[in-house]
Chain A
Amino acid sequence: MAPWMASGLIYASGLALTAGSITLLYIVTRTFNFAVASMATFGFYIAYTGVALYGGTPYQFYPLVIIFGSILGLICYYGLNRHLLRREAAEITLMMSTLGYDLLLLSFIQMYADFLTHEYRLFPRRVTLNVYDFELFGERAAAIILPIIAVVVLTGLHMFLTKTKFGVAMRATIENPVLSGASGINPDRVYMVSWIIGGGMATLGGAFMAMAMTGTPTMGMFTIPLMFAGAILGGLTSIYGGILGGFMIGMTEYAGIFTLSQQLGPWVLGYRMGIPLMLMAATLLLFPRGLAGIPLMKILRSLGGSKRGES
């Protein structure tokens, strides 16, 4: 596997989870969660602390990463989002409240980085987490393991939303909160669970992305435009669309920058973010509702029809 493809798969898997987290929280609570940036960064620091202090690989600390992310999500819900939702706050207010939470988390990240330096003599402000990775079938393990974990998370989420009573209740609340309330479903509980899942996905995504990029206290801030680009590309109406959008944005960035740097030279590396953003703009021009708005079945049917016509 080409190095750019391995890095692309790792990075795109992380971006997919963060974009899925943004989409989930938006469709359930109408909240554009800007705190996803610092949640992702915290994901990286939890994995880093684990391997730096206790050894092993970053993968074994992922359960801890998810739990920590869920707690961050719960704090955001009970500390901010719940009160604002009850007061029927406007979307802009909900969004700005998460920006405030993000800045608070960023301060804690900076303090935590200093704490690691002073207490454990670690240097956590520029970390390449992939040095803790190993080889699997002659490839970087992360390039194989992380996409698999991302698919497992997506499958688990799908099973939860379609096969469990509470998961179906979540979908019902997303579609029609009034009717779900009248059915006895407590929307408060649905919002809380969406923050638990969304927080876990965001931190896990950050831990993934740090396997392909340099981990810094501000890595979430630098990548948040692409996390949102993935969610917007996905259409903001479907969790699956958000995850697919995030993955496409991540892969496009790596494939595009590799191709362009081969053709035009290394100076294009400074413009790497522009490539996926152009993809997002082009897709939205063609399909204003994003990937979720692409009439896939219609296209497949027409392709099937044209094939039959040809034969």
Chain B
Amino acid sequence: MLKVNNLSAGYGKLQVLYDLNIEAPAKGITVVVGPNGAGKTTLLASVMGIAKVHSGEIMFEDISITGDLTHNLAKKGISYVPQMGNVFAELSVMDNLNMAGYLMSRDEAKEKADQMTEIFPVLKKFIRRSAGTLSGGERRMLAIAMGLMKNPKLMLLDELSTDLAPIIAEKVMMEVARLRDDLGITILMVEQMAKRALEVGDTAYLLVSGEVRYSGKAGDLLNEPELCSMYLGIKADTDEIASVEKPTVEGSE
């Protein structure tokens, strides 16, 4: 679905990513983990045409999207949920959903917004409130709902669990798994909550200083105690790690 070939990218003249090769297979969750400053967010920003691509190529459905403008990528079915500023704080929840459905007809957007409030009932409660007044967890729900409004083929999720209480972060991860299992959406997810993300994910990449240090099955990365403890802060309790099983969403099997 998404292939990043020999990508070097950054902001202006500042290079953050070095010769990166990453692939996000269709209908799977690809997790990108790594320490702070590894270039995880820059990777997503490069795909979305926000960061500057110095060299390399980004392919979506076997067509190059390198250098495409952000709004054109949205039209092609790529949905991006940024880590920060992922909702329009000054607009109401309803207007946020409407903006997420900007490319749809009014009726289609309304129908989709209704679907979103069914998936995330908390949003229905606050539909007229400005998004800036929502709690961190509610904002994330709104951000995901906005991402989903666009009927995406590919979702880019940036640090969904940041600033969330563990129990809410857990719920958010379950929602991500549901997107793959129930809706068949391809997901490229950057995450600080590495252990939980790797448990949910199918494929994983470990980024360190803008370079790939590991690529393979997500669960297998958890069996690399040295990498886990050095870069992800996951303690080398190998027995526990080895016994990790991929969780399934209730009702998905």
User: Which A residues form the contact surface with B (CB < 8 A)?
Assistant: 165, 168-169, 171-172, 175-176, 178-187
Contacts and interface: CB of A to CB of B under 8 A. Distances in A.
B89 A181 contact: no
A168 B99 contact: yes
Interface string B66-81: 0001110111000110
A181 B71 contact: yes
Nearest to B87: A179
B85 A184 contact: no
Given A168-B95, A182-B73, A184-B71, 8 more contacts: A165-B98, A165-B102, A169-B99, A171-B90, A182-B74, A184-B75, A185-B71, A187-B71
Contact of B70 (A169, A175, A178): A178
Interface residues of B, number: 28
B39 interface: no
Q: Which 4 A-B pairs have the closest CB atoms?
A: A181-B70, A184-B74, A184-B103, A182-B80
Majority secondary structure of chain A interface residues (helix, strand, loop or mixed): helix
Q: Which of B71, B85, B89, B95 counts the most A-chain CB atoms under 10 A from its CB?
A: B71
B69 A184 contact: no
B112 interface: no
A311 B187 CA distance: 61
Contacts of A165: 98, 102, 106
B71 to A, nearest CB: 5
A179 B150 CA distance: 13
A168 B49 CA distance: 23
Contacts of B50: 178, 181
7 contacts: A168-B99, A171-B90, A180-B88, A182-B73, A183-B71, A183-B103, A186-B71
Nearest to A187: B71
A171 B70 contact: no
A175 B75 CA distance: 21
A185 B102 contact: yes
A176 B71 CA distance: 13
Contact of A172 (B69, B80, B99): B99
A182 B70 contact: yes
Contacts of B150: 183-184
A127 B126 CA distance: 57
Interface in B18-74: 48-50, 69-71, 73-74
Contacts of A182: 48, 70-71, 73-74, 79-80, 82
Contacts of A180: 88, 99
A169 B96 CA distance: 10
B197 interface: no
B99 A185 contact: yes
Contacts of A176: 85, 88
Contacts of A179: 82, 85-88
B74 A172 contact: no
A178 B82 contact: yes
B146 A183 contact: yes
A168 B71 contact: no
B91 interface: yes
A178 B90 CA distance: 15
B100 interface: yes
A254 to B, nearest CB: 35
Interface centre among A165, A175, A184 (most CB of B within 10 A): A184
A188 to B, nearest CB: 8
A165 B100 CA distance: 11
